[in-house]
Amino acid sequence: MSASQSPSRALALGCVADDYTGASDLANTLTKAGLRTVQTIGVPADDLVLPEVDAVVVALKSRSVAPGEAVARSREADAWLRRRGANHVLFKVCSTFDSTDAGNIGPVLDALRADAAEPIALVTPAFPETGRSVCQGHLFVGATLLAESPLKDHPLNPMRDSNLVRVLARQSAGTVGLVDIATVAKGPEAVAARLDALAADGHGAAIADAIFESDLEILGRAALGHRVSCGASGLGLGLARALVADGRGAPAADAMAGEPVGGHAACLAGSCSQATLAQIEAAAAHMAVLHLDIEKLMAGPAEREATLAWAASRLADGPVLIASSAAPDAVRALQAKHGVAAVGHAVEAALAQLAADLFARGVRRLVVAGGETSGAVVDHLGLKAFLLGPEIAAGVPVLRTAGGDPMLLALKSGNFGGRDFFLRALDLMR
Ligand SMILES: Nc1ncnc2c1ncn2[C@@H]1O[C@H](COP(=O)(O)OP(=O)(O)OP(=O)(O)O)[C@@H](O)[C@H]1O
Ligand SMILES: O=C(O)[C@@H](O)C(=O)CO
């Protein structure tokens, strides 16, 4: 990571994100709102020298691991951020609240709250820019209730209950209350008073309604009165705007100011979301696309090796896209035959290995679709920290690796981006 010229101030905001794409989504939001932000991969070393920043987003791959492991990693990240002076830590989860009854949102939040000695934490995944809103504790994806949206078919954590008070209560040690939209509309003091009342009643968390960015500004201000909160980029926006109003933040250095990185370009898609499936279809008009045969992939290395040979022979002519993505029926059939975890891990491992092989063949611009997939790829490439570049689509920035041989990446959350996402990303990655 590039060295700082001046000793860093205490962080205005610390963030622990439960996946890598979610972390870059949040880092993008904080940057746009005026906080200079760096995203690290995993908990950084204690002696990490940062440029002058206001916020650090520590990206973990903890959304779909065992709860104990998620808790341990998140506590470590939280402790690092507190040592860097962060008074408030936002636990960034998915705007569609991706989790199961076992966790990991509840267990991690319980632990962070205990470590911060906070009686209650405000929780909201609302993110109006991408159509996520919460009303009477129910999460909507656009105009559709969460449990009726495509998220009901998510390969790892199908979301079948839209009532987040219930969802969070099932995975938390404590009980969960609601800060409803009527209270939010009254302003930060009313929200703070409601949180105090819920805490006095013994609730450890409160789902907060939010529909518009103005609601999130109110919630961000109220959340800053506590040491920990939980939400998606919308709450990040609210916290950042409150901090900037308090005098923190400054324009970020242009992460793309250096030489263009050049090199070959490739896209890897492991997300099976409706959005990604449509984006892959649209990309086929502009680049060579290969759909992996998952049965063959699971049978041995031949499918991956053949894919690499296919890609290597085309890279000089332009970008290639390799996708494991499949429609819900096909995903379910594979999962029924091999097991959810076995297919997921086999696909992630194959795409991560392909990323490394493509890097070895000169790829320096890489677009990855899917949070778990991005986690596997970034870990396998051994990348440690990112600076923020321009926004490709809501929630997806261009990332530039900090230090070493520069590389540009876009880590796309499954549901984000328009149909032309892959082309648009590569246009901004030079
Ligand atoms: N054809 C397939 N059949 C079964 N599982 C698949 C297939 N292709 C990919 N997968 C697995 O599905 C999971 C997709 O999760 P991932 O987080 O990458 O995407 P996403 O859930 O759409 O994105 P996000 O978490 O950002 O919303 C991964 O574990 C991946 O390996
Ligand atoms: O909040 C979101 O929707 C994304 O940042 C994400 O975490 C999806 O994996």
Asked if the structure places residue 229 within a domain, the reply is yes
320 - beta bridge partners?
266, 288
Taking CA atoms only, the protein residue closest to ligand 1 atom 2 is 331
Residue 37: enclosing H or E segment and its boundaries?
Answer: strand 37-41
Q: Range of 407's domain? A: 264-428
Residues touching ligand 1 (Cβ under 6 Å) are: 19, 21, 154-156, 270-273, 294, 324-326, 331, 334-335, 343-344, 347-348, 370-373, 413-415
How many other CB atoms sit within 10 Å of the CB of residue 138? 18
Same domain, 156 and 92: yes
Which three-class secondary structure state does DSSP give residue 374? helix
Residue 116: enclosing H or E segment and its boundaries?
Answer: none
Closest approach atom of ligand 2 to CA 395? 5
pTM of the model: 0.93
Give residue 404's pLDDT: 77
Asked if the structure places residue 40 within a domain, the reply is yes
Phi, psi of 210 (to 5 degrees): -165, 135
Which three-class secondary structure state does DSSP give residue 338? helix
Taking the C-alpha atoms of residue 220 and residue 211, their distance in angstroms, rounded to an integer, is: 14
Residues 407, 401: contact at Cβ < 8 Å? Answer: yes
Give residue 251's pLDDT: 82
The structure tokens listed for 190 are 């009313």
Residue that is written with structure tokens 């009532």 in the block:
163
**CA-closest candidate to residue 127, choices 149, 97, 159:** 97
pLDDT tens digit sequence for 304-326: 999 999 999 999 999 999 999 99
Same domain, 169 and 229: yes
Same domain, 164 and 194: yes
Question: DSSP letter at 277?
Answer: H
pLDDT tens digit sequence for 188-222: 999 999 999 999 999 999 999 999 999 999 999 99
Does the Cβ of 232 fall within 6 Å of ligand 2? Answer: yes
Taking the C-alpha atoms of residue 35 and residue 22, their distance in angstroms, rounded to an integer, is: 17
Taking the C-alpha atoms of residue 33 and residue 283, their distance in angstroms, rounded to an integer, is: 31
Same domain, 102 and 218: yes
**CA-closest candidate to residue 235, choices 253, 223, 250:** 223
Taking the C-alpha atoms of residue 386 and residue 409, their distance in angstroms, rounded to an integer, is: 9
**Backbone φ/ψ region at 64: left (φ over 0), alpha (ψ -120 to 50), beta:** alpha
* Residue 27, domain CATH: 3.40.50.10840
Same domain, 327 and 221: no
Same domain, 34 and 136: yes
Asked if the structure places residue 6 within a domain, the reply is no
Residue to mutate (ligand 1; options 130, 372, 412; most atoms within 8 A of CB): 372
Same domain, 349 and 282: yes
Domains identified in the chain, total number: 2
Residues 372, 19: contact at Cβ < 8 Å? Answer: yes
Flag whether pLDDT at 7 surpasses 60. Answer: no
Asked if the structure places residue 5 within a domain, the reply is no
Out of 210, 245, 280, a domain closes at 245
Asked if the structure places residue 115 within a domain, the reply is yes
**CA-closest candidate to residue 77, choices 94, 91, 93:** 91
Average pLDDT over residues 84-100: 97
Out of 245, 272, 296, a domain closes at 245
Same domain, 234 and 150: yes
Give residue 231's pLDDT: 98
Taking the C-alpha atoms of residue 193 and residue 279, their distance in angstroms, rounded to an integer, is: 45
Same domain, 167 and 99: yes
Taking the C-alpha atoms of residue 159 and residue 182, their distance in angstroms, rounded to an integer, is: 26
Residue type, 351: L
pLDDT tens digit sequence for 372-414: 999 999 999 999 999 999 999 999 999 999 877 899 999 999 9
pLDDT tens digit sequence for 141-157: 999 999 999 999 888 88
Integer angstrom CA distances of residue 92 from 97, 184, 297: 10, 21, 33
Same domain, 105 and 42: yes
* Residue 284, domain CATH: 3.40.980.20
Taking CA atoms only, the protein residue closest to ligand 1 atom 9 is 270
pLDDT category at 59 given cuts 50, 70, 90 is very high
Per the prediction, the chain carries an average pLDDT of: 95
Asked if the structure places residue 139 within a domain, the reply is yes
Same domain, 99 and 31: yes
Asked if the structure places residue 240 within a domain, the reply is yes
Out of 245, 276, 309, a domain closes at 245
Give residue 47's pLDDT: 83
The structure tokens listed for 331 are 């995903």
Taking the C-alpha atoms of residue 252 and residue 54, their distance in angstroms, rounded to an integer, is: 10
Helices and strands of the chain, counted as H and E runs: 15, 18
Average pLDDT over residues 107-130: 98
Asked if the structure places residue 7 within a domain, the reply is no
Radius of gyration of the chain (CA): 21
Same domain, 222 and 83: yes
Residues 219, 238: contact at Cβ < 8 Å? Answer: yes
Does the Cβ of 372 fall within 6 Å of ligand 2? Answer: no
HSE (CB half, 13 Å, CA atoms) of 104?
27
Taking the C-alpha atoms of residue 267 and residue 289, their distance in angstroms, rounded to an integer, is: 9
Taking the C-alpha atoms of residue 231 and residue 96, their distance in angstroms, rounded to an integer, is: 10
